[in-house]
Amino acid sequence: MTRAFYDIAFTPRVLEMQKKQGSDNAYAKFLAPEAPPNDALTEAEAAFIRARDGFYQATVSETGWPYVQYRGGPKGFLHVLDEKTLAYADFRGNRQYLSVGNLSADDRIALFFMDYANRRRLKLLGHARTVDAADDPGLIARLSKPDYRATPERAVMIDVAGYDWNCPQHITERYTRAEIEEAFAPTRQKLASLEAENASLKAELAAYAAGARS
């Protein structure tokens, strides 16, 4: 558990509701002043983030409404630059620029990472800024995947403020095509081996039958 995340997320109204529902004691130790802040990513979080091919991102509009969108790309397109910094190349999409516009007025951002296959999820809060491609082409090149066909318009840099791992309860297991391919690879190899063996036996049987007839 991470105190930094709770310091941000557990507002007075949230704490009031926890007390009303009887869950306040379960979290009290994580809010204590002596609890470690844990506001920097460890290798466990870094590895989890690098393995994702997408995440959910929320920003706050000037009208106070949250805006959530899915950001996807090749696995590892979200880079862990260090224990406090994430970054990704923002590719051209439908050109509504809702998230970019929101961040220009309010830099707060929330990221939600899902591993449906293993029923794991990671929540992260931070402060984001954008860097136009023309202003730092070297950074854009560092964050882009050469073999990924998309046009990067900017980089999004995220300073980590806090994170928290969620429990696996109620996560529905889902699998990507790549995960299914990996899971069935041994079965396909075994099937190919059996098919080759079957073809060999048929050939031997045909040769035996031809010899018997002669």
pLDDT beyond 60 at 141:
yes
For residues 197 and 100, membership in a common domain is answered with: no
For residues 148 and 53, membership in a common domain is answered with: yes
Whole-angstrom Cα distance, residue 67 to residue 120? Answer: 23
For residues 94 and 140, membership in a common domain is answered with: yes
For residues 49 and 144, membership in a common domain is answered with: yes
CATH code for position 112? 2.30.110.10
DSSP track, 42-67: -HHHHHHHHT-SEEEEEEE-TTS-EE
Range of the domain at 135: 39-166
pLDDT of res. 2: 63
pLDDT of res. 12: 94
The pLDDT tens digits for 165-186 are: 988 888 888 888 888 888 888 9
pTM: 0.83
Overall number of domains in the chain: 3
Helix, strand, coil: what percent of the chain each, to 5? Answer: 40, 30, 30
β-bridge mates for residue 82, sequence order: 85
